[in-house]
A and B are shown apart, each in its own frame.
Chain A
Amino acid sequence: MSGSGAGMSLWRYAAMRIVQSLPLILGIIVINFLLINLAPGDPVTALIGDFPAPAEYIETVREQFGLDQSLGVRLLTYIGNVLQGELGFSFNYRVPVLELVLARLGRTLVLMITTIVFATAVGLGLGIMAAKWKDSPLDKFAVGFATVGYSIPVFWSGQLLILLFAVRLGWLPSSGLRSTRIAYEGLALYGDMARHMILPVLALSLRYIALTTRLTRSSLIETLNSDYVVAARTRGIPATRILWNHGLRAAATPIITIIGYHFTFIVAGSALVETVFGWPGVGRLMYESIGARDYPTLLGILLMVSIAVIIVNLITDIVYAFIDPRIKYD
């Protein structure tokens, strides 16, 4: 960065985008509030679920969320509560929702981050090779794989993987976070967990790999045919260097967009994958909460996921602006 005018406006742009996303987050909190209040029956039910709760706790909730007051006052109280991390209480698990979700968040994040890193690496590699050897058998395979991979639903590919690698070949565990028969410790425990992660990560990655491959390939091919690449070649820059330096730089923007904007997909996908593979993360928690009609937990997860999606999109936009100097900051 030159540290001059252009750099300044970039930071201003970032600040502006952050400020802009605040109303969106507020909007989501309001929608969540309306879901609680407009649900049929007593809002208390929505906040504590269908569980037989002691009368004095119902009173506490009623007071805490100001349910005896007007809708406007209640909205403000609710916003205040949410900002303090007060998302309600899960009677199914008998802990506050925030605590419950945070306890499981790490496992989901491990799954998601591993997927993103793995899928991006594989998709990039496949896309680069396909673009470099365009129309070769390898390219045709990559294009075919990308098309098929994109259209297979996660729960189906997940079950297919379980059938093949767990049931038929018996190579990998089909479900859970770690082995229950042998209690591994230290490094072996991590190895055991990694083995449990392989199938869920594969299932979750498939579509992501397909997307990244397709996008890397097409944006590389486009770049390598652009005028400035021809110009760079007339300056004697070798083809390989052009591919790595110019081609991938141009491909970076769409790839980051994919990672950012398909975050929602990964979130939804991880809920399915966690269910199929019995991975005790937030997705699995969501699934269980639906079954148990545990509304507070469901609403809490919904709220947190929505905010997370907004934040990731925000980060994507900002990174995007940092990578491409042509983006106008207005």
Chain B
Amino acid sequence: MNPNIQTKADSTTQLEPILEIRDLITEIRVPGRSLRPVEIERLVVPRGQVVGLVGESGSGKSMTAYSVLNLFPTAAASIHSGSIVLDGVDMVKVRENERVKIRGNKVGMVFQDYALSFNPVITIGKQLMEQLLTHGRHENAKAKVLSVLDEVGLSAEVFSRYPHELSGGMLQRVGIASALVCDPPLIVADEPTTALDVTVQAQILELLKSIQKERNLSILLITHDLGIVAEICDLVYVMYVGQIVEHGTVHKIFKSPSHPYTQGLLQGASSVQSVGTHEIRVAIQGSIPGLTEIPSGCRFHDRCPHTMEICRLQQPGFYEVDGLQAACWLHDAEHSHG
């Protein structure tokens, strides 16, 4: 590991990471073929850190989040191969009845569509209780639910409310409460603020930040909003067409991004006020290719301003550049001179 990482990371890197993804391939079966929305060589969430996963729409961020739970919203998707070690348990190898005990218990998930994450005809309290009791937390279950509601800034009254009786911001707080209720060490948050009003976004982000500190939580935060990354993340992974193209500390990525795609993302973000906008801004020509038309070699080659011969032919491996890891031929000694 890099010696320059802050002390906080130093103390935790000794421990086994809370989440480690290796050689993950997730596939979606469509008539006649199988698509691969996720092909991640390695992604690590160290204990007690917030790791951002950024990329344009369609880059495979949500699919990665679902892969962590080994649970997909569509039956067509599944994990093809690889390993996802979550708190010591491989979510790919372990049986489904074991995974059920881990979801919501060892890892909480927060969704963008807070309005769709709760059963509309069951009260909030009952749904949180259901989760606690399912995971065998029978003792003082109601008190636990009330305390976690309080922790996310909601009054005890919310316990007996139905989802439609709450505002978007309140519902997302409930979403966070549900992710926290079993005291998991890890939270996966998929665009937790994207669907909210700008002022509410800031409040929810503050809440996540303070809870993370309070509980020393690990968070895998999926977002297209680089402002959020800068504010809350320790590490960041940049994703493009299912693959990680660059990763490192937030500080370094913002200061001197090494991958042309990351550079494009950052330029786009600084050229407009990106906080609160729904679409990620990219100062790059063209648009992200679909899964049926993945380019050969470096997947970014048809949009990259620095494309070379080799880029079209061969996929680049990772190179260490000033403490960052970037998958780009520009950093290969042989090609960088061209």
Minimum CB–CB distance from A1 to chain B (whole Å) comes to 9
Interface: B291 (CB within 8 A): no
Contact with B along A148-187 (1 / 0, CB 8 A): 0000000000000000000000000000000000000000
Interface: A325 (CB within 8 A): yes
Of the candidates A236, A238, A250, the one having the most CB atoms from chain B within 10 angstroms of its own CB is: A236
Task: Collect the chain B residues with CB atoms within 8 Å of residue A325's CB.
Answer: 120-121, 162, 164
In Å, the complex CA distance between A288 and B89 comes to: 75
Task: Check if A249 sits within 8 Å of B103, measured CB to CB.
Answer: no
Interface: B151 (CB within 8 A): no
Interface: A39 (CB within 8 A): no
Which residue from A6, A227, A237, A241 sits with its C-beta under 8 Å from B116? A227
Task: Check if B120 sits within 8 Å of A235, measured CB to CB.
Answer: no
Task: Check if B120 sits within 8 Å of A236, measured CB to CB.
Answer: no
Minimum CB–CB distance from A8 to chain B (whole Å) comes to 14
Task: Check if A236 sits within 8 Å of B100, measured CB to CB.
Answer: yes
Which residue from B120, B134, B160 sits with its C-beta under 8 Å from A237? B134
Interface: B16 (CB within 8 A): no
Which residue from A2, A6, A227, A236 sits with its C-beta under 8 Å from B105? A236
In Å, the complex CA distance between A323 and B121 comes to: 8
Task: Check if A235 sits within 8 Å of B178, measured CB to CB.
Answer: yes
Task: Collect the chain A residues with CB atoms within 8 Å of residue B2's CB.
Answer: none
Interface: A121 (CB within 8 A): no
- With contact pairs A235-B131, A237-B130, A237-B134 given, residues A228 and B100 touching in the complex (Cβ less than 8 Å): no
Task: Check if B121 sits within 8 Å of A232, measured CB to CB.
Answer: no
In Å, the complex CA distance between A233 and B69 comes to: 10
Task: Check if A236 sits within 8 Å of B118, measured CB to CB.
Answer: no
Contact with B along A86-120 (1 / 0, CB 8 A): 00000000000000000000000000000000000
Instruction: Count residues on chain A whose CB falls below 8 Å from chain B CBs.
Output: 23
Task: Check if A228 sits within 8 Å of B104, measured CB to CB.
Answer: no
Task: Collect the chain A residues with CB atoms within 8 Å of residue B103's CB.
Answer: 233-236
Task: Check if A6 sits within 8 Å of B165, measured CB to CB.
Answer: yes
Task: Check if A231 sits within 8 Å of B135, measured CB to CB.
Answer: no
Task: Check if B119 sits within 8 Å of A228, measured CB to CB.
Answer: yes
Task: Check if A326 sits within 8 Å of B178, measured CB to CB.
Answer: no
In Å, the complex CA distance between A308 and B326 comes to: 75
Task: Check if B160 sits within 8 Å of A2, measured CB to CB.
Answer: yes
Task: Collect the chain B residues with CB atoms within 8 Å of residue A60's CB.
Answer: none
In Å, the complex CA distance between A147 and B108 comes to: 43
Interface: B166 (CB within 8 A): no
B65 closest partner in A (C-beta): A234
Interface set, chain A 213-267, CB cutoff 8 A to B:
226-228, 230-238, 241, 245-246, 249-250
Interface: B32 (CB within 8 A): no
- With contact pairs A233-B71, A236-B101, A238-B134 given, residues A227 and B117 touching in the complex (Cβ less than 8 Å): yes
- With contact pairs A227-B113, A235-B103, A238-B134 given, residues A326 and B164 touching in the complex (Cβ less than 8 Å): yes
Task: Check if A241 sits within 8 Å of B113, measured CB to CB.
Answer: no
Task: Collect the chain A residues with CB atoms within 8 Å of residue B101's CB.
Answer: 236
In Å, the complex CA distance between A250 and B122 comes to: 10
Minimum CB–CB distance from A11 to chain B (whole Å) comes to 17
Task: Check if A236 sits within 8 Å of B73, measured CB to CB.
Answer: no
Task: Collect the chain A residues with CB atoms within 8 Å of residue B134's CB.
Answer: 235-238, 241
In Å, the complex CA distance between A237 and B128 comes to: 11
Task: Collect the chain A residues with CB atoms within 8 Å of residue B122's CB.
Answer: 245-246, 249
Task: Collect the chain B residues with CB atoms within 8 Å of residue A235's CB.
Answer: 103-104, 108-109, 131, 134, 178
Task: Check if A228 sits within 8 Å of B71, measured CB to CB.
Answer: no
B97 closest partner in A (C-beta): A238
In Å, the complex CA distance between A67 and B103 comes to: 77
Minimum CB–CB distance from A255 to chain B (whole Å) comes to 14
B75 closest partner in A (C-beta): A225
Task: Check if B121 sits within 8 Å of A249, measured CB to CB.
Answer: yes
Interface set, chain B 109-158, CB cutoff 8 A to A:
109, 111, 113, 116-122, 127, 130-131, 134-135
Task: Check if B117 sits within 8 Å of A228, measured CB to CB.
Answer: yes
Which residue from B104, B113, B116, B119 sits with its C-beta under 8 Å from A234? B104
In Å, the complex CA distance between A326 and B122 comes to: 11
In Å, the complex CA distance between A236 and B107 comes to: 10
Task: Collect the chain A residues with CB atoms within 8 Å of residue B283's CB.
Answer: none
B126 closest partner in A (C-beta): A245
Minimum CB–CB distance from B332 to chain A (whole Å) comes to 40
Minimum CB–CB distance from B167 to chain A (whole Å) comes to 16
Minimum CB–CB distance from A235 to chain B (whole Å) comes to 3
Task: Check if A237 sits within 8 Å of B104, measured CB to CB.
Answer: yes
B69 closest partner in A (C-beta): A234
In Å, the complex CA distance between A55 and B130 comes to: 75
Interface: A59 (CB within 8 A): no
Minimum CB–CB distance from B144 to chain A (whole Å) comes to 15
Interface: A63 (CB within 8 A): no
Contact with B along A61-93 (1 / 0, CB 8 A): 000000000000000000000000000000000
In Å, the complex CA distance between A3 and B331 comes to: 67
Task: Collect the chain A residues with CB atoms within 8 Å of residue B100's CB.
Answer: 236, 238
Interface: A324 (CB within 8 A): yes
A250 closest partner in B (C-beta): B121
Apart from A231-B117, A236-B134: 19 A-B pairs, beta carbons within 8 A? A2-B160, A2-B161, A227-B116, A228-B117, A233-B103, A234-B69, A234-B109, A235-B108, A236-B100, A236-B101, A236-B102, A236-B131, A237-B130, A238-B134, A241-B130, A241-B134, A249-B121, A324-B121, A325-B162
10 A-B residue contacts at CB 8 Å?
A227-B117, A235-B103, A235-B104, A235-B178, A236-B105, A237-B134, A241-B134, A246-B119, A246-B122, A249-B119
B residues at A contact (CB < 8 Å): 69, 71, 73, 100-105, 108-109, 111, 113, 116-122, 127, 130-131, 134-135, 160-162, 164-165, 178
